[in-house]
Amino acid sequence: MPHFYTEPTITVLARPQFIEPAHLPVNWMGESTDGERLAEFAGRLCYMSQKNPANRTTREYLENIKKQGHGSVLEHATYSLLFEGVSRSLTHELVRHRAGFAYSQLSQRYVDESEAAFVVPPSIIGDESLLKAWQTQIESAQTSYVALVAELMERYKWVEDKVHRRKMAREAARGVLPNSTETKIVVTANVRGWRTMLELRSSEGAEFEIRRMAVMTLRIMQKEAPGMFSDFETYIAPDRAEAARIAYHKI
Ligand SMILES: Cc1cc2nc3c(=O)[nH]c(=O)nc-3n(C[C@H](O)[C@H](O)[C@H](O)COP(=O)(O)OP(=O)(O)OC[C@H]3O[C@@H](n4cnc5c(N)ncnc54)[C@H](O)[C@@H]3O)c2cc1C
């Protein structure tokens, strides 16, 4: 019986480390994280306003940046997240976000999927009969995959390089694996990119699995850098699932 995920696991792999230059100190006010300070430092450099004449806290300063639409300042802060327990269909949608993003995803050509896990589509969770029908198809697909890999390894046994032969078998056999196959992906993006992706994918129009992932990611980013994500608010949409909306649209 394969492992079935009912929600993703999201891990922060990297966050900015801000090193203040001794010759350009900023009159910081209020609480802040390194990512927020980096963005404030970059923004203040433009007008050489390190003295902070308006006596703004970092989060007030960043609120104004978002309001004014100076999104380029937010590009300096970059965060890397590891997503596990997400489906191939989710990552297929995620990788459409290009500007400011970098991706590294598990290879189905190199990695054996005989014991792959699968992600239960959120709309199926809680309905035993739908879940059973879905699981039956998944298990049958996995059985076919295992059989195909074995047969293809036999068919191409004349290929001397075993790594290459396995790749040939797996890349063909994966054709029978469903969109729900679990995958892992490392995603690095700057805050401007994260904001755009989260706005689109946490909205009511987004597909349920990526929307759930976006809402979870948003909560993580709101802890990492409140000043750069405070204008998002989550709510329960009419379809009874969580969604989020943004105050300062696509800056
Ligand atoms: C609800 C929903 C449904 C969708 N349905 C479909 C679908 O059915 N089929 C489908 O194919 N896609 C679909 N998409 C994907 C969508 O078309 C975009 O590919 C995806 O949302 C990424 O958006 P983006 O290009 O703005 O993002 P990014 O690539 O992150 O770009 C961000 C911004 O940078 C600028 N930019 C980036 N690249 C360029 C460029 N090359 N030239 C000029 N400006 C650029 C643009 O201003 C862009 O908005 C869907 C998306 C959503 C949210």
pLDDT digits (tens, 9 = 90+) for 156-210: 999 999 999 999 999 999 999 999 999 999 999 999 999 999 999 999 999 999 9
Q: Domain limits at 240? A: 12-80+184-246
Same domain for 74 and 26: yes
User: Position of tokens 């805050």?
Assistant: 191
> Which residues have C-beta atoms less than 6 Å from ligand 1?
96-99, 193, 196, 200-201, 205-206
CATH number at residue 207: 3.30.1360.170
pLDDT of residue 1: 83
pLDDT digits (tens, 9 = 90+) for 45-65: 999 999 999 999 999 999 999
Same domain for 144 and 161: yes
Closest CA to 196 of 217, 179, 180: 217
Same domain for 160 and 209: no
Select which of 201, 211, 212, 240 is catalytic: 201
For 132, other C-beta atoms within 10 Å of its C-beta total 10
Residue 107 falls within a domain, yes or no?
no
Same domain for 196 and 172: no
Averaged over 5-17, what is the pLDDT? 98
pTM: 0.95
How many independent structural domains does the chain possess?
2
pLDDT digits (tens, 9 = 90+) for 86-133: 999 999 999 999 999 999 999 999 999 999 999 999 999 999 999 999
Number of H helices, E strands in the chain: 8, 8
Averaged over 22-26, what is the pLDDT? 97
**Type of residue numbered 5:** Y
Q: Whose CA is nearest to atom 13 of ligand 1?
A: 93
Same domain for 189 and 169: no
Atom of ligand 1 nearest to the CA of 201: 53
Ligand 1 pocket mutation, candidates 98, 203, 246, criterion most atoms within 8 A of CB: 98
Same domain for 194 and 166: no
Three-state SS string across 110-159, please? CCCCCCCCEECCCCCCCCHHHHHHHHHHHHHHHHHHHHHHHHHHHHCCCC
Same domain for 188 and 174: no
